[in-house]
């Protein structure tokens, strides 16, 4: 039988660390008393092996390439569900009935208007401001208008941010392009309305379906960088708008959500350079070059990213539906093939991730490259909010890691003239 506790001994003191087993039999070691008992803290750069919480939202097995929201396989959800249905599932733990989903969608529509003073902020931002900075600015600005109960996981607060986010994201896109905002159309569903506001025209069923699928695939990914940021900011009792803004900032980086923009820029650069993928694979292998193949590798997936598998197929479907051919897709396929047969990538278990294909689809739909990461944010929002809600409901303490101090020891201050 497996042990139910681990004894850690150090310097004549010992601590009994309980073994916690998750519902998918993942064992963890609870070290919360370790420091009090033995004086030891744990050190784990990048939290590579540290569980920061217990969560019932998303299960991920990186070795097996499994991703499930509330127990439902991501492939089944992407194939059969709709984004707001998945958002409901993440937030409330169960798939909604027809009546529950209608009610949820109605509430999202009812709260979708963005106050004029918030949209005015976009117009005042410096020209050329990245859309992620614009999105962060207007999201935190909502706290100026909806301050009451914004730090509580009330239904109204949760609906409010989910309802306004697609409208804000579309406004950010229009503002970036120097175009007028398109009025919110409450006769349309969540995703169709977003596309209508972004492009100023009705999207085809194929495009709405592709967008729905993309948003579903991005909706949650357990304790990743941006979600951890949302939980950490929220743990100080900061309101939901401030917490989500923390997530937007964390997502922006090219090692996280910003990779989708970087992938497309890289594919364009390869195309411009003549399309020789082997040159770029060689560069990625050369550490001195500082170059990485964007869209390859993942902190947790060490076999394949199940989201990338679904998107690869979706990519073909969308391009066929839109009657497009894209040289970038051919380059992407060649890159993938080259990397999957190269010992450098194989030995490090570097496979295409979700961002490798998403950009090609966003590009085919007509989104400007700079908008790819805001689209990731739009998809990830239900996950951020569900994780924030769970943290609140579990009454988790403020997040505050320890450190191993490596700086100078105590030394006397010396007056400036003596230095
Ligand atoms: N190209 C070339 N080498 C790579 C790459 C890459 N894309 N990714 C990792 N490596 C190498 C890295 O140099 C290291 O080699 P060595 O062991 O010889 O020093 C080894 O593989 C392990 O990499 P790491 O950086 O220690 O791994 P990590 O878990 O800290 O980083 C990652 C994961 C996703 C940040 C990294 O793989 C990466 O930078 N990928 C490119 C950016 C990207 O596509 N990010 C999107 C992630 S998916 C969306 C999301 O959920 O955020």
Residue nearest to atom 30 of ligand 1 (CA): 299
What would the mean pLDDT of 116-141 be, rounded to a whole number? 97
Ligand 1 pocket: which of 297, 301, 335, 353 to mutate (most atoms within 8 A of CB): 297
The catalytic residues are 298, 355
Q: 244, 377 in Cβ contact below 8 A?
A: no
pLDDT of residue 2: 67
**Minimum-distance ligand 1 atom for the alpha carbon of 356:** 44
Query: Ligand 1 pocket: which residues have CB below 6 Å?
Result: 46, 221, 224, 255-257, 259, 284, 292-299, 348, 350, 353-355
What is the distance in A from the centroid of ligand 1 to the CA of 351? 10
Cβ-based neighbour number of residue 334 at 10 Å: 17
Architecture of domain 82-254+379-393: Orthogonal Bundle (1.10)
Coil/strand/helix, residue 68: strand
Token pair, residue 276, equals 């020789």
Ligand 1 centroid vs 296 CA: distance in angstroms?
7
Into which CATH architecture does domain 259-365 fall? Orthogonal Bundle (1.10)
340 band by pLDDT with thresholds 50, 70 and 90: confident
3 state SS of 73: strand
Contact present, 371 and 217 (Cβ < 8 Å): no
Task: Give the CA diameter of the chain.
Answer: 77
What mean pLDDT do residues 258-285 have? 92
Q: What is the number of helices (H) and of strands (E) in the chain?
A: 18, 6
Joined tokens for residue 21: 């087993």
**Ligand 1 mean position, distance from CA 298 (Å):** 6
Nearest CA to ligand 1 atom 22: 348
Which residues are registered as beta bridge partners of 21?
27
State whether residue 378 is helix, strand or coil. Answer: helix
- So what's the pLDDT on residue 236? 97
CA of 125 to the centre of ligand 1 (A): 33
DSSP state for residue 370 in the 8-state scheme: G
Contact status, residue 374 vs residue 169, Cβ threshold 8 Å:
yes
Task: Give the pLDDT confidence score for residue 336 in this predicted structure.
Answer: 87
pLDDT exceeds 80 at position 156: yes
Asked if 62 and 303 count as a contact pair (C-beta separation under 8 A), the reply is yes
Burial 142-163 (b: 16+ CB within 10 A, else e): bbeebeeebbebeeebbbbbbb
Where b means 16+ CB within 10 Å and e means fewer, 230-253 reads: bbbbbbeebbbbbbbbbbbbbbbe
DSSP states along 243-306: HHHHHHHHHHSTTTTTHHHHHHHHHHHHHHTTS-HHHHHHHHH-GGGT---TTB--SS-SS--H
Mean pLDDT within 204-223: 94
Q: Are 57 and 390 in contact (CB under 8 A)?
A: yes
- Here the tokens at position 14 are 């010992």
Q: What are the residue ranges spanned by the domains of the chain?
A: 5-66, 82-254+379-393, 259-365
| Alpha-carbon distances, residue 213 vs 11, 88, 207, 228, 352 (angstroms) | 54, 15, 10, 24, 18
Please give the order of strands across the beta sheet that includes 58-61.
58-61, 66-69, 72-73
Mean pLDDT over each residue of the chain, to the nearest integer: 94
Cβ-proximal residues to 56 (8 Å cutoff; 6+ apart), any chain: 70, 93, 390
**Average confidence (pLDDT) over 206-215:** 93
Res. 1 pLDDT band, cuts 50 70 90: low
Stated length of the chain: 419
First to last CA, the chain: 64
Q: At 163, list the tokens.
A: 């309802």
Cα–Cα distance, 48 to 45 (Å, whole number): 7
Which helix (H) or strand (E) segment is 19 a member of?
Answer: strand 13-21
Check whether 273 has a pLDDT greater than 90.
Answer: yes
Closest C-alpha to 119, from 156, 158, 173: 173
Q: Is the pTM of this model over 0.75?
A: yes
Share of the chain above pLDDT 90, in %: 83
Atom of ligand 1 nearest to the CA of 46: 30
* 3-state secondary structure at position 360: helix
Nearest residue to 284 via CA among 348, 355, 196, 218 = 348
Domains 82-254+379-393 and 259-365 belong to one CATH topology:
no
- Which residue's alpha carbon is at the smallest distance from atom 3 of ligand 1? 292
């Amino acid at each position: 039988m497996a042990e139910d506790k681990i004894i850690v001994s150090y310097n004549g003191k010992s601590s009994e660390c309980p073994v916690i087993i998750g519902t998918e039999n993942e064992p963890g070691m609870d070290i919360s008393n370790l420091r009090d008992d033995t004086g030891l803290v744990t050190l784990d750069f990048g939290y590579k092996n540290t569980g920061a919480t217990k969560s019932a939202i998303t299960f991920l097995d990186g070795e097996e390439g499994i991703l499930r929201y509330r127990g439902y396989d991501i492939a089944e959800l992407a194939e059969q569900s709709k984004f707001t249905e998945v958002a409901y599932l993440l937030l409330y733990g169960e798939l909604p009935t027809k009546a529950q989903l209608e009610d949820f969608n109605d509430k999202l529509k009812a709260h979708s208007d963005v106050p004029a003073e918030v949209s005015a902020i976009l117009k005042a931002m410096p020209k050329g401001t990245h859309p992620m900075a614009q999105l962060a600015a207007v999201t935190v600005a909502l706290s100026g208008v909806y301050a009451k109960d914004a730090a509580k996981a009330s239904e109204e607060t949760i609906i409010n941010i989910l309802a306004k986010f697609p409208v804000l994201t579309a406004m950010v896109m229009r503002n970036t392009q120097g175009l007028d905002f398109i009025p919110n159309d409450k006769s349309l569903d969540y995703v169709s309305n977003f596309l209508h506001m972004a492009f100023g025209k009705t999207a085809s069923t194929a495009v709405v379906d592709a967008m729905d699928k993309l948003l579903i695939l991005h909706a949650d990914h357990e304790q990743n960088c941006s979600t951890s940021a949302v939980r950490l900011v929220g743990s100080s009792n900061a309101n939901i708008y401030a917490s989500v803004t923390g997530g937007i900032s964390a997502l922006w980086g090219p090692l996280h959500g910003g990779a989708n923009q970087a992938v497309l820029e890289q594919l364009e650069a390869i195309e411009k350079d003549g399309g020789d993928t082997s040159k770029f694979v060689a560069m990625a292998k050369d550490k001195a070059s500082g170059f990485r193949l964007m869209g390859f590798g993942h902190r947790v997936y060490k076999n394949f990213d199940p989201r990338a598998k679904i998107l690869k197929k979706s990519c073909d479907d969308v391009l066929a539906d839109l009657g497009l051919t894209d040289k970038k897709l051919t380059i992407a396929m060649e890159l993938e093939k080259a990397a999957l047969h190269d010992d450098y990538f194989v030995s490090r278990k570097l496979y295409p991730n979700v961002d490798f294909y998403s950009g090609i689809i966003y590009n085919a739909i007509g989104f400007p490259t700079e908008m790819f990461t805001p689209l990731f944010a739009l998809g990830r929002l239900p996950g951020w909010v569900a994780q924030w809600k769970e943290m609140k409901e579990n009454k988790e303490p403020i997040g505050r890691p320890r450190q191993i101090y490596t700086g100078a020891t105590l030394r006397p201050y010396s007056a400036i003239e003596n230095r």
